[in-house]
């Protein structure tokens, strides 16, 4: 007989439930280590058919590690699983493992595509760079605010210009200088580390043919191109380019019940960071790019009808479709037919 396993994964322990022929035959827990879980599965379920767990912070590691151990690991959508797990009378980790095992047995789940470690490295690089840039900006503003209290107004400027202004102003206040110079040095160090990560990202994008291809679109830079390639991975993951817009959460929600039928706001599902980058690229296309394209002309016409924000969302959705089509065909951005995709 075949066995079906549900894993409720947490940082410390993982609860395991094994079902066979419609009944639970074993339930327990072990440390959250894929190797230990694989040993447990081999001991308790020799003919395992599916090993199901939800998306979460450890899902990428668990999926690839369990696959390397030869187990049929399946990562499912946590939102989909929640609807079934909420039917349990009591919410416990053990009951969640039972529910996941039941889903694995009946096949009622939505499998999630788990990204590769290479894609996650790119996403980690972008996230780390963004955090450093954000912290650098916050510290710069903090220095400006603290100096205003003592009547020291830092003139406009960034980078070395900002640092020079701060040091010259602090020279007149020895007490404040002792306090803020360490903060200024910390700001300078974070700025240097952010620059190093930016160089890594640019070098990685230049070495990628796909990133170079997407960068041919006016308004799409290194960060947007790298994020899109890392998120899509293989263009064959989507049968239709139009599906990418919905996957990234840029299509409208629909509610229909009886005589009620209306479209709402965009779904905002999927990768929020990528969605934000596509929206920023769309804003650049509509406001800053000087080279006209069919996509920009279409967006400007739409802006006159429905307003700037909604037009920018529409351009972002179409931009996602165009970028996927470019990855699939390997062709450069064509300014004359972009809006027809």
78-98 per-position pLDDT tens digit: 888 888 888 888 889 999 999
Paired tokens of 60: 């990428």
Predicted pLDDT at 339? 44
Instruction: Answer with the residue of higher pLDDT: 291 or 289.
Output: 289
Predicted pLDDT at 337? 63
Q: 79-93: string of b/e by CB count within 10 Å (b at 16+)?
A: ebbeebbeeeeeeee
In whole angstroms, what is the distance from residue 277 CA to residue 214 CA? 13
Which DSSP string do the residues of 7-66 spell out, in sequence order?
EEE-SSEEEEEEEETTEEEEEEEEES-HHHHHHHHHHH-TTEEEEEEE-STTHHHHHHHH
Predicted pLDDT at 340? 46
In whole angstroms, what is the distance from residue 341 CA to residue 339 CA? 6
- 260-266/252-257 β-pairing: antiparallel
Confidence of residue 341 (pLDDT cuts 50, 70, 90): very low
Q: 262-296: string of b/e by CB count within 10 Å (b at 16+)?
A: eeeebbeebbeebbebbbbbbbbbbeeeeeebebb
CATH architecture of 3-106: 2-Layer Sandwich (3.30)
Predicted pLDDT at 79? 85
112-132 per-position pLDDT tens digit: 999 999 999 999 999 999 999
Predicted pLDDT at 84? 80
Instruction: Answer with the residue of higher pLDDT: 149 or 335.
Output: 149
Confidence of residue 336 (pLDDT cuts 50, 70, 90): confident
3-state helix, strand, coil in the chain (%, to 5): 60, 15, 25
Q: Is the Cβ–Cβ distance between 299 and 335 less than 8 Å? A: no
Q: Is the Cβ–Cβ distance between 341 and 311 less than 8 Å? A: no
* Mean pLDDT within 175-201: 96
Predicted pLDDT at 86? 85
Q: Is the Cβ–Cβ distance between 139 and 183 less than 8 Å? A: yes
Torsion over CA: 217, 218, 220, 222 (sign): positive
Report residue 53: phi and psi, to 5°: -145, 165
Report residue 86: phi and psi, to 5°: -70, -10
Predicted pLDDT at 68? 95
What radius of gyration do the chain's Cα atoms show? Answer: 26
Q: At a CB cut-off of 8 Å and minimum separation 6, what does 2 contact?
A: 20, 47, 48, 49
For residue 322, give the nearest of 335, 306, 313 by alpha carbon.
Answer: 335
Q: What is the mean pLDDT of the chain?
A: 92
Predicted pLDDT at 297? 92
Q: Is the Cβ–Cβ distance between 40 and 14 less than 8 Å? A: no
* Mean pLDDT within 165-184: 94
Percent share of the chain, pLDDT over 70: 99
240-275 per-position pLDDT tens digit: 999 999 999 998 887 777 777 777 788 888 889 999
Percent share of the chain, pLDDT over 90: 80
Q: At a CB cut-off of 8 Å and minimum separation 6, what does 187 contact?
A: 136, 139, 140, 143
pLDDT value at 170 more than 70 = yes
Q: Give the single-character DSSP code of 3.
A: E
């Amino acid at each position: 007989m075949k066995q079906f396993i549900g894993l409720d994964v947490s940082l410390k322990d993982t609860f395991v439930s094994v079902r066979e022929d419609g009944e639970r035959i074993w339930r327990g827990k072990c440390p959250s280590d894929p190797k230990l879980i694989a040993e447990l599965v081999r001991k308790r379920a020799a003919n395992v058919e599916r090993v199901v767990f939800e998306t979460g912070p450890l899902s990428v590691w668990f999926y690839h590690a369990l696959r390397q151990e030869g187990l049929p690991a399946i990562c499912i959508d946590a939102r989909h699983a929640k609807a079934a797990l909420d039917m349990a009378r009591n919410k416990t980790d053990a009951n969640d493992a039972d529910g996941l095992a039941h889903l694995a047995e009946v096949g009622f789940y939505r499998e999630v595509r788990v990204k590769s470690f290479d894609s996650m490295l790119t996403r980690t690089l972008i996230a780390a760079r963004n955090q450093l840039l954000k912290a650098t900006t916050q510290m710069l503003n903090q220095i400006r605010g603290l100096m205003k209290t003592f009547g020291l107004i830092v003139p406009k400027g960034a980078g070395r210009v900002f640092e020079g202004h701060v040091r010259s102003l602090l020279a007149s206040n020895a007490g404040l200088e002792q306090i803020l110079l360490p903060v200024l040095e910390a700001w300078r160090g974070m700025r240097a580390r952010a620059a190093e990560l930016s160089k890594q990202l640019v070098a990685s994008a230049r070495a990628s043919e796909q990133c170079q291809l997407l960068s041919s679109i006016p308004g799409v830079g290194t960060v947007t191109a790298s994020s899109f390639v890392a998120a899509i991975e293989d263009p064959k993951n989507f049968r239709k380019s139009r599906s990418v817009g919905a996957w990234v959460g840029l299509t409208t929600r629909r509610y229909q019940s009886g005589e009620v039928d209306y479209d709402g706001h965009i779904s905002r599902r999927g990768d929020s960071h990528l969605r934000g980058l596509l929206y920023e690229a769309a804003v650049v296309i509509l406001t800053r790019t000087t080279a006209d394209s069919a996509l920009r002309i279409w967006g400007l016409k739409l802006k006159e009808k429905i307003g700037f924000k909604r037009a920018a969302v529409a351009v972002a959705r179409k931009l996602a479709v165009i970028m996927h089509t470019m990855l699939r065909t390997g062709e450069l951005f064509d300014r004359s037919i972009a809006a027809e995709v």
